[in-house]
Amino acid sequence: MTQWPFMDVAVTLPMPHSFVYAVPDYLSDTCRPGMRVLVPFGKRRVTGYILKGRKDSGDYTAKKILDVLDDHPLFPENEIPFFRWVADYYMHPLGETIKTALPTGLERRDVAHVRTTEQGRMALDTPGLSPVESRILTLADTRQGISRKQLFNTMDSPSLRSLLKKMQDSGWLSVTAVLKKEAASARLEKFISPGEKPPDPAKKLSLKRQQILSIVAEKKEISLTALRSQVPTAPRLVKLLAQDGRVTITQRRVCRDPFGDPVEPDIPPELTSEQANAVNTVLNHLDQGFVPYLLAGVTGSGKTEIYLRLAADAVARGKSALVLVPEIALISQTERRFRARFGEQIAVIHSMLSQGERLDQWHNIATGKVSIVIGARSAIFAPFDNIGIIIVDEEHDGSYKQENGLRYNARDLAVVRARMCDCPVVLGSATPSVQIAHNVRTGRFQQLDLHHRVNDRPLPQITLVDLKKYNDAPPMDRIITPELAKAIRTCLEAGNQALIFLNRRGFASFPACSACHQPLQCRHCDITMTLHLSAHVYKCHLCGFCLPESTACPSCGKKAVKNFGFGTEKIETLLKTMFPDARLARMDQDSTARKGSALALLKSIRNRTVDLIVGTQMLAKGHDFPAITLVGVICADLSMNLPDFRAGERTFQLLAQVAGRAGRGDVPGTVIMQTYNPDHFTIEAARRQDVTAFYNREIPFRKALKYPPFTRMILVKLSGPEKEAVEQAALQAAAILLQLKDATPEMAQTVDILGPIEAPIPRISSRFRWQLLIKSPSFHQISVLVQALQNHPDITRRRTISLGIDVDPYSLM
Ligand SMILES: Nc1ncnc2c1ncn2[C@@H]1O[C@H](COP(=O)(O)OP(=O)(O)OP(=O)(O)O)[C@@H](O)[C@H]1O
Ligand SMILES: [Zn+2]
């Protein structure tokens, strides 16, 4: 291994470039690309990632690396070009891009701590002190003080920054740097094995010690945890035994096991002819390296079996397979199927794992212990150095898009990474996105088709129920119509399961005051709150702010809040009264918030210990529960009228997907879809489960209005705590962009700048929001424009305004 005197390091700060650091002698054996280092930056110490070795430092006097934080690289060297691509494309700093890619909790850095001085303590007793000042002095009066960030989070005062400066100048507060340690670390476990020394017969041992020695002799090696479960005092006793040389204690890294119940190995079924065709097409073109495929297969056509075969082939070729799954709820199903086939070769990456578990899974990938990864969007960064295939299940799903920080789309990155690894990528869906379907039509993707369900099971029969005819009916009949109630009864009587779908959680979604008619709004966001009956609170679904169930109307002060609108919790209550004998479960974000509860719910559906399930989109896609024969859609129109050009596409996908949960076993499925718009083409296409019909209507509309896939877009989001300042910044950003655009005749013609407008949700978490949408058929053009904006001094100098760049935005809200 070459020992380089200098290293290129990407620091975890908003810096576009990497920096050169010198390797001190005592670290020269240990520094390798892909490892974290602690480096000085300005007056602080921050975490950085080694990118590559260098012979010299150029014209630059390099500072020294302070410490190496890993003993094995966290990512392979050949992944670095991918990170660079991601950083450039999404206009995000390289170091922060890598930080987003890695498991969370791996950062060490100096944080500014504010501490009350002796003088400050004395000032606390003086009379002229403002309440804010005395609060700050009290909070900061601890040994380490309080971190600046924590102080800003606790104190909701707009002039905090200048106040702190003033207090510091008066000598009341001191600011120091405190090194923050990683939140996630390797788990080390002690193992006990027989010692070198022969037992000394002269020395009498207690019974407990004898017991320990015989266990260790029998097992050859046992973890201290396992030993302690047999002999509770083992930790103290083995220390003594080790001093006598009777046992040896070694410490090793162990993997925390995130897997739930054990899974029985499965026997691969014989492929249907459509499945075999799809698999063979991919395998026959392996010599072409990168080939992007759309696997368009109706619901229940057996796409997962194709993924299993393709992954098996990659592993057989000595390569690895990367499998992305959208919802964490769905990961468990896919993970089970993969583990049944591949056993221990699997790692999983998703947000239900603890930080430590995620770190262990990552380590298993980086050290080559596993060859298949199944995960949610962040798994696209898995540190494999030899990828043989990338698979994206439910490619149309919005959860592949990260909506803050590095706003990447893992589905799109799957294609980019496959191109860099020169391997095939398979995007699967029963309801492909307009974007990818368009890529097929323009010849950039190859389509693999599955037109039939496995075993020639029929697709479910879908009946629309026009909700308009129940406008004057009793409230109950407007929510669960007699048609739906009857279908549920029939389904339950036959001993089958029914899934009732509503994509809105909570009990009442529109609380409003009956005295002043104002809706109950969140204090920090411009949206209406939702009543959660079991938690006895009104909750804001954006920031989490709660008001008690007994709240008075914040506008007029009267105790007259009435609960209009409904969500899953209300449906659950209604069904309970209508079908008191049915075993009922509800699956939504609220009922699955606790670790393990989602898995327990899915298990109860699988084991048929529930009959009726109320669920949100969490249950709508991908799940394979053969006993579900009825799907009821409470309101098909919910997402249709959102101010977003993809509202129709999303509604179609959601409805066709949820319908696809019915009839996956031996009994054919039925779907009752309640809607106010039975004639709308989106609803009609969903009823016929006709993807092509939907696209043929949607594509001309996208083309006429110059929306993707015919243009590329970047959404520029500005937000800040002061309304006027955000508006001013947005107007200025627009002026800068217009000027840049008009300076180039070509851009003047093809680039469209829409806005600035106030965002559809004008305020979230007390931050005001404005936005600008930039469109052009050429991505290069809009990218150049936005980069210039990002670096424009008039924008960067505005310290209270944050500028968010959303490349290929998914949500325009
Ligand atoms: N060749 C086969 N022979 C028998 N059963 C199969 C075969 N292939 C798949 N299956 C079974 O068919 C069912 C549906 O398959 P799968 O869940 O993969 O569908 P899917 O195409 O992913 O559907 P969706 O788009 O709704 O997620 C599963 O229970 C699976 O085990
Ligand atoms: Zn809120």
pLDDT digit string, tens, across residues 93-115: 999 999 999 998 777 777 888 89
31 known ligand binder: no
ipTM: 0.97
pLDDT for the residue numbered 165: 87
- Using CA positions, which residue lies closest to atom 15 of ligand 1? 302
Q: What percent of the chain has pLDDT over 70?
A: 98
From CA 675, how far away is CA 673, in angstroms rounded?
6
Helix ranges restricted to H, 34-147? 80-89, 94-101, 118-123, 131-139
275 lines ligand 1 (CB under 6 A): yes
Supply the pLDDT for residue 132: 85
Of ligand 1's atoms, which has the minimum distance to the CA of residue 301? 21
What single letter denotes the amino acid at residue 304?
Answer: T
663 lines ligand 1 (CB under 6 A): no
Spatial CA neighbour of 566 closest among 597, 598, 530, 596: 530
Residue 668 in contact with ligand 1 by CB distance below 6 A: no
486: which residues sit within 8 A by CB, 6+ positions away? none
- Is residue 326 in contact with ligand 1, taking CB distance under 6 Å? no
Distance 273 CA to ligand 1 centre (A): 13
Q: Is 513 annotated as a binding residue?
A: yes
Side chain identity at residue 159, one-letter code:
S
Identify which ligand lies nearest to the alpha carbon of 656.
1
Which DSSP category does 30 fall into? Answer: T
Amino acid 260: pLDDT: 65
pLDDT at 532: 92
Pocket test for ligand 1, best of 267, 303, 304, 426 (most atoms within 8 A of CB): 304
**What is the distance, to the nearest Å, from the Cα of residue 433 to the centroid of all Cα atoms in its chain?**
19
The reply to whether 421 sits in an annotated binding site is no
Q: Is 502 left (phi over 0), alpha (psi -120 to 50) or beta?
A: beta
Distance (Å) from CA 528 to ligand 2 centroid: 9
Q: Is residue 80 scored above 90 in pLDDT?
A: yes
pLDDT mean over 251-262: 72
pLDDT at 1: 55
The pLDDT score that the predictor gives to residue 2 is 61
Could you write out the DSSP letters of every residue in 372-388?
A: EEEESGGGGG---SSEE
> CB of 449 closer than 6 A to ligand 1?
no
* 250 alpha carbon – ligand 2 mean position (Å): 51
Average pLDDT, the chain: 90
pLDDT band at 225 (very low <50, low <70, confident <90, very high): confident
CA separation for the pair 153, 748 (Å, rounded) = 43
User: Lowest-confidence range among 116-120, 394-398, 445-449?
Assistant: 116-120
HSE of 52, CA atoms in CB hemisphere, 13 A: 9
* 525 labelled binding-site residue: yes
Does residue 304 line the site of ligand 1, with CB under 6 A?
Answer: yes
Is 60 exceeded by the pLDDT of residue 488? yes
| Least confident segment among 96-100, 194-198, 524-528 | 194-198
Ligand nearest, relative to CA of residue 763: 2
| pLDDT of residue 261 exceeding 80 | no
- Percent over 90 (pLDDT), the chain: 58
The 10s digit of each residue's pLDDT in 742-759 is 988 888 889 999 989 999
Per mean pLDDT, which range of 190-204, 551-565, 579-593 is the poorest? 190-204
| Ligand 2 centroid, distance to 562 Cα (angstroms) | 20
Mean pLDDT along residues 657-685 = 91
Judged by its nearest atom, the ligand closest to the C-alpha of residue 527 is 2
DSSP per-residue string spanning 584-651: EEEESTTTT-STTHHHHHHHHHHTT--SEEEE-GGGTSS---TTEEEEEES-TTTTTTSSSTTHHHHH
| Contact between 426 and 282 (Cβ < 8 Å) | yes
Other beta carbons less than 10 A from residue 281's beta carbon = 16
Q: Left, alpha or beta for 405 (phi > 0: left; psi -120 to 50: alpha)?
A: left
Q: What is the pLDDT of residue 424?
A: 98
Does residue 595 carry a pLDDT above 60?
Answer: yes
Question: Does the C-beta of 292 come closer than 6 Å to ligand 1?
Answer: no
Cα of 577 from ligand 1 centre, angstroms: 35
In this prediction, residue 199 carries a pLDDT of 64
**Residue 365, pLDDT above cutoff 90:** yes
pLDDT band for 20, please (50, 70, 90 cuts): very high
State the Cα–Cα distance between residues 271 and 623, nearest whole angstrom.
20
Would you say 553 is a known binding-site residue? yes
Question: Which pLDDT score is estimated for 772?
Answer: 95
Higher pLDDT, 553 or 392: 392
What average pLDDT does this structure show over 506-510?
89
Distances (CA, A) of 407 to 499, 591, 771, 805: 33, 28, 16, 8
Nearest to 28 by CA among 65, 63, 75: 65
Q: Is the pLDDT reported for residue 19 higher than 90? A: yes
Cα 146 to middle of ligand 2, angstroms:
26
Query: What local confidence, expressed as pLDDT, does residue 257 receive?
Result: 66
423 is in an annotated binding site: no
Cα of 623 vs centre of ligand 1, distance in Å, is 10
